[in-house]
């Protein structure tokens, strides 16, 4: 798993790209991984932990209407989170996470271990992917964080 962290760091650095994160369910884990390699300040500009719906609105500007219409665990909301953090931080890439870590489902009615990851780029590329993981809270957060890095690597490697 450490290889993906170094791969993402290397490709972002080589291409001179910057990234920011907006995390709900992963609570900073994606940002933590992005900052692990030495020299991370060349590509990682920061992030927002927007765990609650209210913080998504206050910190990122994700509308209450969007969250009520689709729930926080939706492709629409993760894409808006990725878009907004990218704009606020003025980075090339914004990545976001939202999901159900358990033990309760919350308001989304999604199953435990269900996550969305959103990616939005300066050039207008946007994608939201859903994932279903088995495991406890920490295990599903880790799997989501590594999947987010894989999405970044795949995008950067092909663009």
Predicted structure pTM score: 0.94
Tell me how many domains the chain contains. Answer: 1
For residue 112, what pLDDT is reported? 85
For residue 52, what pLDDT is reported? 82
pLDDT per residue rounded down to tens, the chain (159 residues): 669 999 999 999 999 999 999 999 999 999 999 999 999 999 999 999 998 878 988 999 999 898 899 989 999 999 999 999 999 999 999 999 999 887 666 666 788 889 999 999 999 999 999 999 998 889 999 999 999 999 999 999 988
Residue numbers of the domain that contains 77: 2-158
For residue 105, what pLDDT is reported? 60
Report the alpha-carbon distance of residue 55 to residue 66 in Å, rounded: 14
Report the alpha-carbon distance of residue 144 to residue 78 in Å, rounded: 13
- CATH code of 146's domain: 3.90.950.20
- Using alpha carbons, select from 26, 49, 31, 28 the residue that is nearest to residue 116: 26
Backbone angles phi, psi at 102, to 5 degrees: 90, 175
For residue 53, what pLDDT is reported? 74
Q: How many residues does the chain have?
A: 159
């Amino acid at each position: 798993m450490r290889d993906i962290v170094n791969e993402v760091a290397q490709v972002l650095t080589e291409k001179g790209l910057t990234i920011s994160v907006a995390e709900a369910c992963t609570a900073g884990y994606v940002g933590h991984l992005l900052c692990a390699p030495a020299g991370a300040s060349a590509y990682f500009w920061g992030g927002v932990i927007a765990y609650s719906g209210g913080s998504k609105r206050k910190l990122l500007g994700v509308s209450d209407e969007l969250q009520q219409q689709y729930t926080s665990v939706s492709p629409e909301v993760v894409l808006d989170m990725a878009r907004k953090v990218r704009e606020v931080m003025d980075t090339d890439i914004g990545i976001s996470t939202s999901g159900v870590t358990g033990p309760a489902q919350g308001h989304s009615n999604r199953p435990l271990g269900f996550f969305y990851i959103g990616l939005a780029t300066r050039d207008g590329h946007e994608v939201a992917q859903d994932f279903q993981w088995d495991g406890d809270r920490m295990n599903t957060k880790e799997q989501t964080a590594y999947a987010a890095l894989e999405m970044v690597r795949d995008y950067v490697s092909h663009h």
